[in-house]
A = this chain, B = another copy of it.
Amino acid sequence: MPVPETTTMPETTMTPEKTAMPEPTTTPEKKADAISAAIAELQVLLGGRLSTSAAVREQHGKDESWFPGHDPDAVAFPNSTEDVAAIVRICAKFGAPIIPFGEGTSLEGHVAALEGGICISLANMKKIVAVNAADMDVTVQAGVTRKQLNEHLRDTGLFFPIDPGADASLGGMTATRASGTNAVRYGTMRENVLSLTVVMADGQIIRTARRARKSSAGYDLTRLIVGSEGTLGVITEVTVRLYGIPAAILAGVLAFDSLEGAVESVILTIQSGIPVARIELVDEESIKAINDYSKLDLPVSPTLFLEFHGTEASVAEQAELFREIADDHGGGEFQSATRTEDRNKLWQARHDSAYAAMTIRPGCKVFASDVCVPISRLAECIHETKKDLDEIAMPTPILGHVGDGNFHVVFVVDPDSEQDMADAKRINRRLITRALAMDGTCTGEHGIGHGKMDYLIAEHGAGVAYMRLLKTAFDPQNIMNPGKILRI
């Protein structure tokens, strides 16, 4: 086995790759001309469904992170896959950049129009195409959000589990290989997307797979598009697996007298094979913010938010097994929430924790780290990171989908403060170096965007060359979300 590429990560690996960068084949002027020409044709195609207003452009050039916005030159609002294909064909003809946009909830600058170009908003594509209840799957247009989908499914007895917190679109969740609180039990978008309809960079429409639960028919185009962040094509329809709503759901919170105790309890819960549906770590600092923001009065202590799914008997059994573990690690009383409204309030509070964190320092933004490590290294990784955080002044609540080994330090930064930004970047780099040395990843669920391109190289080493071959083969003009994932 080749040694992991990076166990320590010197400063130099954080600079762009040291391959000779080819001269750009187009000058900025030529690019601007190409974009103008594309806009002129798009106006004929779309009429009022193309906007060049400053407000609309600004709104579509930034996500929920601290990254500065980069406005696209125009925003297109297609209604159908065929509309998207027509838009892409026009952009391809002129070589104009294309940036797909779902709900704008990403966290690594994914939607920034770094080279200008046309934003394709999926806001008009919110149709539920087909609920196949008997097969437990559903096909939706890519603009459908997870909450909209679950609302639609309410009377079917089925639900879509993947839940990244934000009410993201299914297309966006696919593009970033999203996961979130339920992934420990139900998997991520990687495991739950059955098939995609995608408009490729040349305007061709492909469907990546059939609805069969499994297939050995050729290269896995579905998984190739999942996580490709709009750099290989525009996702227009998504078919995902659904699950029966469990007969019994038991949620609750449990405070610990130490962070270590909480993390150790998670590790043992996973290693014991308790099929927990959610097991989320929320540190003391987050609890304070959540209590203020969501009007709760949780004990201010490192806490696990949990949920068990199954039959009445099985959730009781799971909770009991978990309580035994927690008792041995300084856990307090398990405060259960069985009523739907209490459960929803609890999870809404957990999901709002990033927003809650921002209220700690009004006017500030979120800079979220996102490492994921093998669970045997989780306690050590968090422990070492806490020591780093003692060095700096800004609020840094920790939250995590710890059942998967994934956690976030939420640096609450003032993006105009050089000190803040330098501190956050330095400690994030140390965290990623640590995670890679533990055979972990620089991003569990947020993606690369343009914020982590150097870390991708540190993580994948020789593999990056093949990602580059792939990108160049599928998008030879580099018009699909250029400047994300890879430098071309």
Known: A207-B2, A243-B273. A216 touches B177 (CB 8 A): yes
Copies of this chain held together in the complex: 2
- Closest Cβ of chain B to A171, distance in Å, is 14
Contacts of A323 in B (CB 8 A): none
Partner of A197, one of B1, B197, B441, B469: B1
Say whether A70 faces chain B, with CB atoms less than 8 Å apart: no
Interface segment, one of A88-96, A220-228, A342-350, A351-359: A220-228
Contact B462 A205 (CB under 8 A): yes
Q: How far is the CA of A82 from the CA of B471 in the complex (A)?
A: 28
Say whether A445 faces chain B, with CB atoms less than 8 Å apart: yes
Contacts of A215 in B (CB 8 A): 177, 372, 441, 443-444
Say whether A447 faces chain B, with CB atoms less than 8 Å apart: yes
Say whether A149 faces chain B, with CB atoms less than 8 Å apart: no
- Closest Cβ of chain B to A413, distance in Å, is 22
Contacts of A467 in B (CB 8 A): 218-219, 221
Quick one: closest B residue to A485, CB to CB? Answer: B218
Say whether A375 faces chain B, with CB atoms less than 8 Å apart: yes
Say whether A283 faces chain B, with CB atoms less than 8 Å apart: no
Q: Which of A136, A243, A452 has the most CB of B within 10 A?
A: A136
Contact B216 A227 (CB under 8 A): yes
Known: A132-B376, A404-B213, A473-B469. A463 touches B4 (CB 8 A): no
Say whether A313 faces chain B, with CB atoms less than 8 Å apart: yes
Say whether A129 faces chain B, with CB atoms less than 8 Å apart: yes
Say whether A448 faces chain B, with CB atoms less than 8 Å apart: yes
Say whether A183 faces chain B, with CB atoms less than 8 Å apart: yes
Say whether A49 faces chain B, with CB atoms less than 8 Å apart: no
Contact B132 A374 (CB under 8 A): yes
Q: Which of A179, A374, A376 has the most CB of B within 10 A?
A: A374
Q: How far is the CA of A261 from the CA of B372 in the complex (A)?
A: 46
A binding-site residues for B, Cβ under 8 Å: 1-2, 4, 81, 129, 132, 134-137, 139, 176-179, 183, 187-188, 190-191, 197, 200, 204-221, 223-224, 226-228, 232, 237, 243-244, 267, 270-273, 311, 313-314, 317, 370, 372-376, 404-406, 435-436, 439-448, 452, 455-456, 459-467, 469-474, 485-486
**14 A-B residue contacts at CB 8 Å?**
A206-B460, A206-B462, A206-B466, A212-B372, A212-B374, A212-B406, A213-B405, A213-B406, A214-B444, A216-B446, A216-B448, A217-B459, A219-B228, A220-B223
